[in-house]
Amino acid sequence: MASTIAEKILSNHCGKDVRAGDISVCDVDFCFGQDGTSSIVIDSFRKLGLGKVFDKNKFCMVIDHSAPSPNIGVSEIHKKMRTFAKEFDLGLYDSGCGVCHQIVPQYGHVTCGDLVLGADSHTCTYGAINVFSTGVGSTDIAITLASGKNWFKVPETIKVIVKGKLPVGVYSKDIILHIAKDIGSNGATYKSVEFYGEAISDLSVDARLTISNMAVEIGAKIGIMEADNKVLKWVAGKSKRAPKPVQADIGARYVAVKEYDISKLSPQIAKPHAVDNVSDVGELAQQRIDQAFLGTCTNGRLEDLEIAAKILKRNKVNPEVKFIIAPASREIFLEASKKGLIDIFIEAGCVVVGPGCGPCVGTHNGILADGEVAISTANRNFKGRMGNPNSFIYLASPATVAASAIKGSIADPREYKKRLS
């Protein structure tokens, strides 16, 4: 019988043929926690009382959400993670290494066809490299750390086909915001979303990661894509394990098929306080901003920094705006530095902070004051997300954020068409 990608990957990991709706206990290829979730992973692991991990090579912890620590409470959690890592000889990426969703694929912990769990909701990011990866809670990670397994309900699948050629100044972030507007924040709840179409194939792997990253924002369990040559080239040399690309069969069962043509798509903006509250950039032209942020697991990769640098080169950030930039990993930071991007940012008046989540989760690196407005490349604009419930967050692509930082209000990056084409 024909299978979806989700059905195939879960079948491969439980040793029997499973279908949407089945419960399966599967072998998990890799799992991890970050500094907002690992404390409970550690507590739950100790409660299990087994005293040993299943396979130390199938787990790591990343200190990224509040790194370096802004206060004593967080410092104690970081210390607890370091102590635990030493005790069981586990991988730990400490402050300054980068965001977990950049670290995990970049260091080759995952490859095509894998089944991966992370104690972070944006674990769905690696769907772009053909991985069944999904976010779970800390106790689920503790169970997998101890046993190498976890249970899964095989999800139903929605097929999304993205057609057309992206206009200049419009990016993968705009595609996923456009899809979020249409499907809604719970439109894909419990489901797998498979992405297809020429618009997806045309994207770089970096740009595809942005789309899969936000699958959870429409409620999805995974947002997965096929492994084409770009993906196979991307994973080659990163993981020691051979990729096992998985495709859906012809005739696989989809609960819905959605088609989008992005040929005429405008830059998209998610308005406060919901990710599916999306408008075309033109509708928000008068909206003043106090802060701009470029970074995160959504848009903190080299390509994102390059796009922003094109716009910022020989330009100045508006004096009324603080523009904060956090590269997604140390390697990206270094590469950006070698390419002269960091010089461009600093000369433009940006604040470049260490690799990590930056101000995305509102613990440090740029907390907003009452009434302040931010435009960010992150994936969430919930009330209070950036540390102050009386502030306002707009989400957009790196190009829109950079253009807005210069103007001091929400700006259309197509004004820089020549630089971007």
Partner 1 sequence: MKKAKRSKARKAVNKKKKLKVAEEVKAPVLTQHFARRLKVQDNINTDYVISGRYKFRIQDPKELCKHIFEDIDPEFAARVRKGDILVAGENFGCGSSREQAPQSLKTAGFYAVIAKSFARIFYRNAFNIGLMLIECNTGFIDDGDTVELDIERGKLKDVSKGLVFDVKPIPYVMKKLLEDGGVIEHFKKYGGFSFHEQT
Of 23, 236, 285, 346, the one binding partner 1 by CB under 8 A: 23
Calculate the dihedral angle through the C-alpha atoms of 9, 11, 14, 15, rounding to the nearest 10 degrees: -130
Does 29 participate in binding partner 1 (rule CB under 8 A)? no
Among residues 357, 360, 405, which one has the least CA distance to residue 386? 360
Does 349 participate in binding partner 1 (rule CB under 8 A)? no
Contact 48, 84 (CB under 8 A): no
Of 5, 53, 103, 119, the one binding partner 1 by CB under 8 A: 119
Q: Could you tell me the smallest distance in angstroms from the CB atom of residue 415 to partner 1?
A: 33
Nearer to partner 1 by Cβ, of 47 and 233: the residue is 47
Q: Give me the 301-340 binding string for partner 1, x by CB under 8 A, dash otherwise.
A: ----------------------------------------
Q: Give me the 204-233 binding string for partner 1, x by CB under 8 A, dash otherwise.
A: ------------x--x-x------------
* Amino acid occupying residue 1: M
Instruction: Summarize the chain as % helix, strand, coil (round to 5).
Output: 40, 20, 40
> Can you spell out the DSSP letters for 130-185?
T-EEEE--HHHHHHHHHHSEEEEEPPPEEEEEEES-PPTT--HHHHHHHHHHHH-T
Does 387 participate in binding partner 1 (rule CB under 8 A)? yes
Does 120 participate in binding partner 1 (rule CB under 8 A)? yes
| Binding piece for partner 1, criterion CB under 8 A, among 105-113, 136-144, 292-300, 413-421 | 136-144
Give how far the C-alpha of residue 294 lies from the chain's centroid of Cα atoms, to the nearest Å. 13
The dihedrals phi and psi of 169, each to the nearest 5 degrees, come to 85, 0
Burial (CB count within 10 angstroms: exposed 0-12, middle 13-18, buried 19+), residue 315: middle
Does 372 participate in binding partner 1 (rule CB under 8 A)? no
Q: Which residues bind partner 1 (CB under 8 A)?
A: 21-23, 25, 35-37, 39-40, 44, 47-49, 65-66, 71-74, 76-77, 118-121, 123, 135-140, 142-143, 146-147, 149, 151, 153, 185-186, 189-190, 216, 219, 221, 274, 361-363, 380, 382-385, 387, 389
